[in-house]
Structure 1
């Protein structure tokens, strides 16, 4: 009975929070990243006859990165220090943000993929894995920034770090660990095994960073003389 009552309270709380959280999502950043991705795919639809197949994969990867840069702003909250006092736990608020934006991301990616002419479209499954890893990396980086800092809007810094990593990271890897390869390359399958590991690792980091910021927990311990889990 206690478990059922607790689950009912969580459902009720989610219903109450959904509309306020929906209003505070960074729709402009998400629209900018998503719009850029759709625009790139649209260009390939218009001028596909004059482009080689590798351009489709490059544009899909660029589109995924653009959307991931938008997701880097997902946890921005100008009123962060005010909402810290609310009784709702941070993990629930974060999970709700991700849950609300996930269907939008799925629909967006489906539209981007379908805009690519079928004769130029690269293998959808592996490319979707790459896109998922990029988005997960953005979410994990944002959660880490919230966890370790008191910055209410870490989005710009997270986006800059993500862009730097996306550009410099693949170039610094040895050839045998290459991530950005093409379907004709014999390393294609092995590279996506590594993409799977990247996705798994970023999800683990994201989950580990769902709790309250480290500094706030330390302040709470100093004030009370002992640690009691926060109710935020």
Structure 2
């Protein structure tokens, strides 16, 4: 069954939205090669690039035919897993190119930044999975993208300093911040797995019969 689903699922993936987001992200990463302030801007530009690509991933579960495919034999967790697996190579290739665009002498620690990117990407897909599970929307990508962008801005502006996530490389909290990123990644992955289950069915109220 899995092999039979690969091609149909691949065709329904929102490659246009993901490609546009990926292109925007790579343009941001490429800006690290311009100007004398590249060293100071490399980290925020890479983080902005990650956010741009994550905004494309929130469209991963958009399915205009959602309400007609709900009756197919393949369970939703399998379909979600296939969509995620098919986009993984593209995400890995994109991140590799984004890192290579940053000059080696100003490139932030690759392992730690990869952890941040992974957490952001998983959060994006988890947000889409939650929207599918708890709403009837066939295209939840746009509102989830708005929510992700708003959350990122609020996290930068209002997140408590003692639990800081977005810290400079030379900050003494760098290691502790990435411990928190690892926890965030694990929690997001678990939440995503739970939300990938079949959507909750709305109960139709039964009115008492007259007479």
Gaps of 5+ in 2: 207-211
Is 1:113 the counterpart of 2:99 in the alignment?
A: yes
TM-aligned CA deviation for residue 40 of structure 1: 1.3
Gaps of 5+ in 1: 1-12, 223-232
1 CA distance for matches of 2:21 and 2:167?
A: 23
Aligned twin of 1:138: 124
Aligned twin of 2:67: 81
2 CA distance for matches of 1:185 and 1:198?
A: 20
Of residues 22, 26, 30, the one that matches 1:34 is 22
2 CA distance for matches of 1:122 and 1:211?
A: 37
Please say if residues 54 and 182 of structure 1, whose CA atoms lie closer than 8 Å, have aligned partners that are also in contact.
no
Aligned twin of 1:10: none
TM-aligned CA deviation for residue 96 of structure 1: 0.1
Give the root-mean-square deviation of aligned CA atoms.
1.3
Give the match's secondary structure for 1:215: coil
Give the match's secondary structure for 1:119: helix
Is 1:148 the counterpart of 2:134 in the alignment?
A: yes
2 CA distance for matches of 1:144 and 1:178?
A: 25
2 CA distance for matches of 1:182 and 1:54?
A: 9
2 CA distance for matches of 1:178 and 1:156?
A: 28
Where in structure 1 do 4 or more consecutive aligned residues deviate above 4 Å? none
Of residues 187, 192, 195, the one that matches 1:209 is 195
Please say if residues 147 and 212 of structure 1, whose CA atoms lie closer than 8 Å, have aligned partners that are also in contact.
yes
TM-score where L is the length of structure 2:
0.94
2 CA distance for matches of 1:79 and 1:207?
A: 22
Cα deviations by residue, 1:59-112 (Å, 9 ceiling, x for unpaired): 110111011000000000001011111111000000000000001000110000
Of residues 47, 61, 79, the one that matches 1:61 is 47
TM-score where L is the length of structure 1:
0.85
1 CA distance for matches of 2:101 and 2:32?
A: 8
Count how many residue pairs are aligned between Structure 1 and Structure 2. 205
Aligned twin of 1:97: 83
Please say if residues 78 and 152 of structure 1, whose CA atoms lie closer than 8 Å, have aligned partners that are also in contact.
yes
Is 1:51 the counterpart of 2:41 in the alignment?
A: no
2 CA distance for matches of 1:195 and 1:16?
A: 37
Of residues 71, 75, 83, the one that matches 2:57 is 71
1 CA distance for matches of 2:27 and 2:191?
A: 32
TM-aligned CA deviation for residue 54 of structure 1: 2.5
Give the match's secondary structure for 2:129: helix
